Amino acid sequence: MVNTELFDLTGKVALLTGASKGMGKAMAQALAAHGARVMISSRKLDQCQETADAINASCGEERAFAFACNAGYKEQLQSLVDATHAKLGPIDILVGNAGVNPFYGSMLDIPDEAYDKIMSTNVKSNRWLVQMVAPDMVAKGNGSIMITSSVGAFGPSLTLGAYSISKVAVIGLVRNLAAELGPSGVRVNAICPGLVRTDFAQALWDNPSAKKRAEEQIPLRRLGEAEDFKGMAVFLASGASAYVTGQALTVCGGSHMRA
């Protein structure tokens, strides 16, 4: 057996949004399994608690905690951060995974309310979170922030334009934060999923044509699964990625290879 501390998160505190199911849940499971204590948040407390209970049962001790929070509201995010501080202490790892997409169609037809909601929840809320959490990391001289973007950031879309624009903005936010926080030892990266079989993206993958495209066009010949994000979360949270910051890391089965 190889004895390594590269992926050891013992003693670390992680805060995750959008973590009661799907990719966020998988990332929370992985962080806890590697020793971190995790605060799980989403809009529904019962789902957060169910996920926390399952993680604690798997770990054999209390490493996961639940808190209800709608990431689109600054005061709720502050309450989440305050609750994490009170329960677990200063935050070492931040995973901004909450996101929305209430509109499917042309940018020429999107209502202002839908556009504002997409940009606020997907971009502005993560800026708020970093402003609230970064001081913990700066004080320690170490920390890791990861924000979920999308391969949709790499090109236009005729039906998901506003969502794609928000994910381009996430990458821009990550790069700027990485430059600002790097001198303090804090790393900031974006995770860019391809088409993943989660409830959030069900309308995109739950049809025969999507399955056929995946089997024929994605190099790994399958759609992504939530479990595929466990390793990436642990890598970015741990010392294994000590020299990685400002990056947009794709988890897409090879569908979006970039120079």
* Contact status, residue 248 vs residue 151, Cβ threshold 8 Å: no
Candidates 73, 104, 115, 163; catalytic one: 163
Half-sphere exposure of 75 (CA within 13 A, CB side): 0
Counting beta carbons within 10 angstroms of the beta carbon of residue 208, is it exposed (0 to 12), middle (13 to 18) or buried (19 or more)? exposed
CA distance 27 to 17: 11
Burial 156-174 (b: 16+ CB within 10 A, else e): eeeebbbbbbbbbbbbebb
CA 60 to the chain's CA centroid:
25
Half-sphere exposure of 181 (CA within 13 A, CB side): 28
243 as an active site residue: the answer is no
Q: Which residues are catalytic?
A: 163
